[in-house]
Amino acid sequence: MEPVQLEPRRRRRCDSPASVPQFCNSPTMLVMVGLPARGKTYISKKLTRYLNWIGVPTKVFNVGQYRRQAVTTYKNFEFFKPDNEEAMKIRKACASAALKDVATYFSKEQGQVAVFDATNTTRERRAIILSFANERGYKVFFVESICEDPEIIAENIKQVKFGSPDYADRDCEEAMVDFIQRIDCYRASYMPIDDEKDRNLSYIKIFDVGSRYLVNRVQDHIQSRIVYYLMNIHVTPRSIYLSRHGESELNLLGRIGGDSGLSPRGQKYANALATFITNQNINDLKVWTSHMKRTIQTAETLAVPYEQWKALNEIDAGVCEEMTYEEIQEHFPEEFALRDQDKYRYRYPKGESYEDLVQRLEPVIMELERQENVLVVCHQAVMRCLLAYFLDKPAGELPYLRCPLHTVLKLTPVAYGCKVESFYLNVEAVNTHRDRPGNVDVSRNPQEALQTVPDHV
Amino acid sequence: MLDKDVLEHGPRELHQNPLRKIWMPRTSNGLPQRPITQRRVCMTNCPTLIVTVGLPARGKTYISKKLTRYLNWIGVPTKVFNVGQYRRECVKIYKSFEFFRPDNEEGLKIRRQCATTALNDVREYLSVEGGQVAVFDATNTTRERRATIMKFAEQNGFKVFFVESVCEDPDVIAENIVQVKLDSPDYIHTDTEEAVEDFMKRIKCYESSYQPLDENLDKELSYIKVIDVGRRYLVNRVLDHIQSRIVYYLMNIHITPRSIYLSRHGESDLNIKGRIGGDSGLSDRGREYAMKLRKYIQEQNIKELKVWTSQMKRTIQTAESLGVPYEQWKALNEIDAGMCEEMMYEEIQKNFPVEFALRDQDKYRYRYPKGESYEDLVQRLEPVIMELERQENVLVICHQAVMRCLLAYFLDKTADELPYLQCPLHTVLKLTPVAYGCKVESIYLGVDSVNTHRNRPENVMAQRSTEDALQTVPAHF
């Protein structure tokens, strides 16, 4: 057989399945198990955010939401009483509707992982789900959260239940009392996953917010990654500070990439950053930089120990390194247009794409999850990738996220998401943000191509 | 925690280490300071003592050796301390299982002594020799013994992580004994049947006093229980990054028999010209190799073979000839030679003689300007290794430097040996795990090619002559 003649290598990674790491062949259902206020939705949302970020299409199916659509006004915990036949009917119907949507997600929407977020506390309910999955060839992985620490449960209720639509018109004390009774409704019929009877199932049991784990029959790569992720996250309050290096010499000249040092204004920013950090009075702050001079110079000014990560280096622009956008347009107009057509997947010739960056940054994210207070001094494209992870931005938006120089973003996990505070430290800098121009066609003229290039020297 | 030097004199001047291309500050007296932590892996503050727990023939030594190999490969200095070996040095000739009887006072004394000696060596390794992880490989089946170890660790400021292997499947145990016990120095003069019988009695000696790690009594300890060779894991109180990585690794390895085939792409056009890097296609001989590789693979009749390539044309072209599905990994791309990409060694010597010399001085750590080092490669390849551990039969079609890194992992080669491992074109290496290591078969598929292996020349000084520098460059067109 004649070897196939490959077409001249395009900068974009080919879309054939061969080029995408095979995470899973059959779709996977992640099934949450546990009493209310055990962190199931927190885990569901966080895991979904992580999987989507690393490129595995994932979606949460929260049965409680289906219930809120069916029963538009929540009265009280009596709805959840085990002897409330009518409510039982509705709840069963909601679970079925959610399962139906899971099937659609997999078969019609190219989903790869569906997170079935509900209490699923009875063997009977879990059997229904297993049978549903087996019929369709889906893999099932259970995630059970077990916790009896009253303080943690109370904190959960405060953080996420008071804000729930169910309790919108109730004051905190009422809501707390009602919710505790709601939990009790489930307690009597709760059958945790049984290590003997369920020994052939694939699952992870999380005890006491991660102090202990039981992992049974991990089947494949994606389940292994999920377990690793779940074992690294924590709920201890902390903040992550993201900042770019101070303005660099090449920034001033409108040139991308390279390994230049700080401009005088950049140095000023480093000083301002040192003051800012000191004033924040952060407990046990870790500082991370890339291997590039400009981030290290910025960190040096902080006068605290820092760690250099090669993985935090700026995106490699390959043959376009140290060029201005004008020069890229002049020498590689087609590449320039291709980049505007799909900035996330576009790979610079002999360089990287945003998609490559995400893969490179995964260990950084994993370690950020393990850590507590961290300041990451990095670069524009890198910061966009990290920010997209924390703020759950899709691939289409990621390369256009605003990460201006001389601005610190403080991210603090809260409820199911992340609070962002932006601190501009009052030192002027060039703008390095180039928006997507109106015309992305290869046939466009230079003016159209350079329409959105920011000013530089 | 604020650095007074920096506060007084302002930010320190940065200087790029010429070999590793890492920016480091100079102190006020002009001398380069100790490097800031380079993030490779966990920079544990205190060393870690991994303590195995389990009856004989539960895979403790297998796990110890494999884990140690992995940790060393990713750059964490690790060493195994196998108490059985200390015992063999002490009691030159092994007579029978009676040595291990719980009522054999003299035996117990010697065994306790051996454990103490081993712990002393652990202290030496972790506190004096710069080791970061020590694996204390013994049964450690009693709470008393474990308490002794924990006290020792506490006194010396070591973190402790237990790895317990629990297994009651008689088939697995029997297979273990066949694989690794029969060849042990203990049974060298015993025939198979006798050896198995004696070993089973040896296991019995430990059974009555075995106190597994207890969910309640030991809930403050950090440990992983591996149950039935990985069917189930119980993980308790993972304290830090290195423990998290160890748990992840242990959860991904398996012992299902399989083989890993490593091969480079077929000879490429740039290979023929003696040029490094680039993204050229196969030469005629390279295409011939691809066809021979296809034939070889078919003849091997491998069950469910996965094929992986890099994202460079030459590996993909090679895989295309096989006529089977394959997966492209960017992580398998050849080492990035930065500014030296597509140059011949003669040109590198001409244009960057100092760089060329630095590379010969420390080929593992040397980073090409705007490129990578072998050390960077290893970090890049770690997810590939992790997935290779999960998989069964795999053929990896890659590149010279990449193949050297992968081979070093499987054959436990040091960082110094790694960049000089022989990985010639048109040769398949078949790796099959056996006992505690890896069997290697080298299959040359009979298609000529250039040699791309450049040995370390004798003179590695920057001022050396061109002749000295190019002494070991292989012939090319």
Does B39 touch chain A if contact means CB atoms closer than 8 Å? yes
Does A330 touch chain B if contact means CB atoms closer than 8 Å? no
Cβ-based contacts of A195 with chain B (< 8 Å): 232
The answer to whether B294 and B428 are in contact (CB under 8 A) is no
Cβ-based contacts of B376 with chain A (< 8 Å): 310
Cβ-based contacts of B214 with chain A (< 8 Å): none
> Does the structure show a pLDDT above 80 at B35?
no
Of B437, B371, B431, whose CA–CA distance to B401 is shortest? B371
**pLDDT tens digit string along B233-244?**
999 999 999 999
Select from B36, B316, B331 the Cβ nearest to the Cβ of A6: B316
Interface of B with A in 257-286 (CB under 8 A): 279, 281-282
Interface of B with A in 311-340 (CB under 8 A): 311, 313, 316-317, 320-321, 323, 325-331
Dihedral sign computed on CA atoms, order B459, B463, B468, B469 = positive
> Does the structure show a pLDDT above 90 at B47?
yes
> Does the structure show a pLDDT above 80 at A330?
yes
Give the minimum alpha-carbon distance from B215 to chain A in angstroms, rounded to a whole number: 10
Interval B413-418 mean pLDDT: 98
Residue A392 amino acid letter: D
| Position B38 confidence tier, pLDDT thresholds 50, 70, 90 | low
- DSSP letters along B402-449, please? HHHHHHHHHHT--TTTGGG----TTEEEEEEEETTEEEEEEEE-S---
Q: Is B264 labelled as part of a ligand binding site?
A: yes
Look at residue A20 in the predicted model and tell me its pLDDT. 42
The answer to whether B388 and B260 are in contact (CB under 8 A) is yes
> Does the structure show a pLDDT above 60 at B250?
yes
| Position A19 confidence tier, pLDDT thresholds 50, 70, 90 | very low
The answer to whether B51 and B149 are in contact (CB under 8 A) is yes
Does B243 touch chain A if contact means CB atoms closer than 8 Å? no
> Does the structure show a pLDDT above 60 at B259?
yes
> Does the structure show a pLDDT above 50 at B58?
yes
Q: Give me B174's structure tokens.
A: 């029997």
Interface of B with A in 358-377 (CB under 8 A): 370, 376
Sheet holding A113-117, edge to edge: A58-62, A113-117, A28-33, A139-146, A203-207, A212-216, B232-236, B223-227, B159-166, B48-53, B133-137, B78-82
Between the alpha carbon of residue A39 and those of residues A34, A174, A210, the distances in Å are: 8, 21, 11
| Position A8 confidence tier, pLDDT thresholds 50, 70, 90 | very low
Q: Give me B341's structure tokens.
A: 């990409």
**pLDDT tens digit string along B445-464?**
999 999 999 999 999 999 99
* Sequence-ordered list of residues with C-beta below 8 angstroms from that of B383, at least 6 positions apart, any chain: B331
Look at residue B148 in the predicted model and tell me its pLDDT. 96
* Sequence-ordered list of residues with C-beta below 8 angstroms from that of A168, at least 6 positions apart, any chain: none
Look at residue A161 in the predicted model and tell me its pLDDT. 83
* Closest-CA residue of chain B to A3: B321
Look at residue B2 in the predicted model and tell me its pLDDT. 64
Q: Give me A306's structure tokens.
A: 């820092």
> Does the structure show a pLDDT above 50 at A170?
yes
Look at residue B6 in the predicted model and tell me its pLDDT. 64
Give the minimum alpha-carbon distance from A186 to chain B in angstroms, rounded to a whole number: 26
Phi, psi of B393 (to 5 degrees): -85, 120
Cβ-based contacts of B23 with chain A (< 8 Å): 291-293, 296, 308
HSE at residue A87, side-chain half, CA atoms within 13 A, is 16
Look at residue A362 in the predicted model and tell me its pLDDT. 97
* Closest-CA residue of chain B to A198: B232
Look at residue B298 in the predicted model and tell me its pLDDT. 96
| Least confident span in A70-84, B31-45, B356-370 | B31-45
Question: What percentage of chain A reaches a pLDDT higher than 70?
Answer: 95
The whole-angstrom separation of Cα B71 and Cα B62 is 14
Q: Tell me, yes or no, if A155 is annotated catalytic.
A: no
Interval B214-237 mean pLDDT: 97
| Position B24 confidence tier, pLDDT thresholds 50, 70, 90 | confident
* Sequence-ordered list of residues with C-beta below 8 angstroms from that of A210, at least 6 positions apart, any chain: A230, A231, A233, A234
The whole-angstrom separation of Cα A255 and Cα A324 is 4
Contact A1 B321 (CB under 8 A): yes
Look at residue A87 in the predicted model and tell me its pLDDT. 93
**pLDDT tens digit string along B74-95?**
999 999 999 999 999 999 888 8
pTM of the predicted structure, to 2 decimals: 0.92
The whole-angstrom separation of Cα A383 and Cα B25 is 24
**pLDDT tens digit string along A213-268?**
999 999 999 999 999 999 999 999 999 999 999 999 999 999 999 999 999 999 99
> Does the structure show a pLDDT above 60 at A348?
yes
Of B382, B381, B369, whose CA–CA distance to B338 is shortest? B369
Query: Which of B6, B235, B242 should one mutate to test binding to chain A, selecting the residue with the greatest count of A CBs within 10 A?
Result: B235
| Mean pLDDT, chain A, integer | 92
DSSP, res B138: S
| Position A12 confidence tier, pLDDT thresholds 50, 70, 90 | very low
Select from A19, A308, A350 the Cβ nearest to the Cβ of B39: A308
Look at residue A164 in the predicted model and tell me its pLDDT. 87
Q: Which residues of B are catalytic, by number?
A: 265, 334
Cβ-based contacts of B323 with chain A (< 8 Å): 1
ipTM attached to this prediction: 0.91
> Does the structure show a pLDDT above 50 at B253?
yes
* Closest-CA residue of chain B to A372: B240
Q: How far is CA A189 from the centre of its chain?
A: 34
| Mean pLDDT, chain B, integer | 93
Interval A23-42 mean pLDDT: 91
| Position B348 confidence tier, pLDDT thresholds 50, 70, 90 | very high
Select from A211, A270, A296 the Cβ nearest to the Cβ of B14: A296
Cβ-based contacts of A306 with chain B (< 8 Å): 36-37
Phi, psi of B169 (to 5 degrees): -75, 110
Query: Which of A146, A214, A320 should one mutate to test binding to chain B, selecting the residue with the greatest count of B CBs within 10 A?
Result: A214
**pLDDT tens digit string along B435-447?**
899 999 999 999 9
Interval A267-288 mean pLDDT: 97
The whole-angstrom separation of Cα A104 and Cα A116 is 14
Look at residue A9 in the predicted model and tell me its pLDDT. 29
Of A395, A373, A375, A374, whose CA–CA distance to A384 is shortest? A395
| Least confident span in A123-132, B190-199, B396-405 | B190-199
Give the minimum alpha-carbon distance from B17 to chain A in angstroms, rounded to a whole number: 12
Q: Give me B110's structure tokens.
A: 């010697």
**pLDDT tens digit string along A107-157?**
999 999 999 999 999 999 999 999 999 999 999 999 999 999 999 999 888
Select from B241, B252, B328 the Cβ nearest to the Cβ of A19: B328
